[in-house]
């Protein structure tokens, strides 16, 4: 990881440890950790608290490792965008190979840790998630298709699945449904943001949907994914895997999400436009995911305490 060999004047000094921490995308990691914990807490069965902690730690480290690989691969792209030009690599504070080695090392340790401490099914899924994000998404599909956000959503959908399977040790319908919920939630969430935030993606050649297919197509896609998401979000209750606590919350949230997505989907931007429906939809999408997963855990806790007969 560390090298003191000077590459440029800025590289004569060893890289600050904080820059390695930045490579792991700590803000993205908070959502990863939250959904992974919810997956583990909502799963039926028991796991030793130390092993549960280790499972969450391994998931977080895997997310950090693949994020570092993303920094390594996209250093040139990041240099061309205002939002990312001051990251450790484009900022010239770190050697590119160091980011790659750090990412590979962190990813490898996370998978080994999961395998040794928790189980090899969870470890294999963690490895799949890392390869999916770092290779399939970052290197292959992100620069090639305007559906890149849909593909990227798959990477974010792994943590609750792995958290659940770390506890149960088997793949069942419920962890797959949790995966599907985040998978179909991501496109409306991200595209709502993309509609009102001016980004530099076009400049660096990443084909984001609003840029490539236009605003009308983006709005239609938001509506479609929101409508597909609703039955999937309610499904855990419909198949009897959760109680009415989760079921009622899922129904209410789905109706609200659709009610916010449909007006935005039908309209077009005016000459002067505050983009209020899009901003509201984006903010609500965050609340939606947070409350939905919290309800999942609350449902399990209520069932364990015998409140749900």
Partner 1 sequence: MSPEEEAEFRRRQKSRNLVVAGTLLFFAVLFYAITIARIGDG
Least distance to partner 1 from the beta carbon of 7, Å? 15
Least distance to partner 1 from the beta carbon of 50, Å? 4
Of 26-34, 46-54, 152-160, 219-227, which part binds partner 1 (CB under 8 A)? 46-54
| Vertex 186: Cα angle to 172 and 246 (nearest 5) | 50
Q: Is 15 in the site for partner 1 (CB under 8 A)?
A: yes
What gap in Å lies between CA 135 and CA 74, rounded to an integer? Answer: 12
- The answer for residues whose C-beta is within 8 angstroms of residue 273's C-beta and 6 or more apart is none
Q: Is 231 in the site for partner 1 (CB under 8 A)?
A: no
Least distance to partner 1 from the beta carbon of 87, Å? 19
Q: Say if residues 256 and 226 touch (Cβ distance below 8 Å).
A: no
Q: Say if residues 55 and 40 touch (Cβ distance below 8 Å).
A: yes
If you write DSSP's letter for every residue of 178-192 in order, what string do you get? HHHHHHHHHHHHHHH
Q: List C-alpha distances in Å: 98 to 23, 101, 117.
A: 11, 5, 28
Window 63 to 122, contacts with partner 1 (CB under 8 A): 116-117
The nearer residue to partner 1, 31 or 57, going by C-beta atoms, is: 57
What gap in Å lies between CA 10 and CA 94, rounded to an integer? Answer: 8
The nearer residue to partner 1, 53 or 196, going by C-beta atoms, is: 53
Of 9-17, 125-133, 189-197, 301-309, which part binds partner 1 (CB under 8 A)? 9-17
What gap in Å lies between CA 210 and CA 195, rounded to an integer? Answer: 7
Least distance to partner 1 from the beta carbon of 61, Å? 11
Among 2, 173, 252, 255, binds partner 1 (CB under 8 A): 2
Q: Is 51 in the site for partner 1 (CB under 8 A)?
A: yes
Give the binding site for partner 1 (CB under 8 A). Answer: 2, 12-17, 48, 50-51, 54, 57, 116-117
């Amino acid at each position: 990881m560390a090298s003191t060999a000077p590459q440029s004047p800025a590289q004569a000094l060893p890289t600050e440890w904080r820059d390695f921490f930045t490579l792991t995308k700590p803000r993205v990691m908070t959502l990863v950790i939250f959904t992974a914990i919810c997956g583990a807490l909502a799963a039926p069965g028991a796991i030793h608290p130390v092993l549960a902690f280790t499972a969450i730690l391994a998931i977080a480290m895997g997310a950090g490792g693949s994020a570092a690989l993303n920094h390594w691969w996209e250093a040139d792209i990041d240099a061309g965008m205002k939002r990312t030009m001051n990251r450790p690599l484009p900022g010239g504070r770190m050697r590119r190979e160091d980011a790659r080695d750090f990412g590979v090392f962190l990813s490898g340790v996370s998978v080994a840790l999961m395998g040794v401490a928790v189980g090899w099914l969870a470890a294999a899924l963690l490895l799949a998630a890392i390869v999916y994000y770092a290779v399939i998404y970052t290197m292959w599909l992100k620069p090639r298709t305007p559906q890149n956000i849909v593909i990227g959503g798959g990477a974010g959908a792994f943590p609750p699945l792995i958290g659940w399977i770390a506890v149960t040790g088997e793949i069942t319908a419920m962890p797959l449904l949790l995966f599907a919920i985040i998978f179909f939630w991501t496109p409306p969430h991200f595209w709502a943001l993309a509609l009102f935030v001016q980004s530099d993606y076009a400049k660096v050649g990443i084909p984001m949907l609003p840029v490539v297919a236009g605003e009308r197509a983006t709005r239609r896609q938001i509506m479609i994914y929101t409508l597909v998401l609703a039955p999937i979000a309610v499904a855990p209750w419909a198949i009897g895997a959760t109680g009415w606590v989760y079921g009622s919350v899922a129904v209410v949230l789905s109706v609200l999400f659709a009610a916010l997505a449909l007006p935005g989907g039908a309209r077009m931007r005016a000459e002067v436009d505050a983009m209020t429906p899009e901003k509201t939809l984006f903010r609500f999408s965050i609340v939606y995911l947070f409350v939905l997963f919290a309800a999942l855990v609350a449902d399990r806790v209520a069932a364990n305490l015998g409140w749900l007969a």
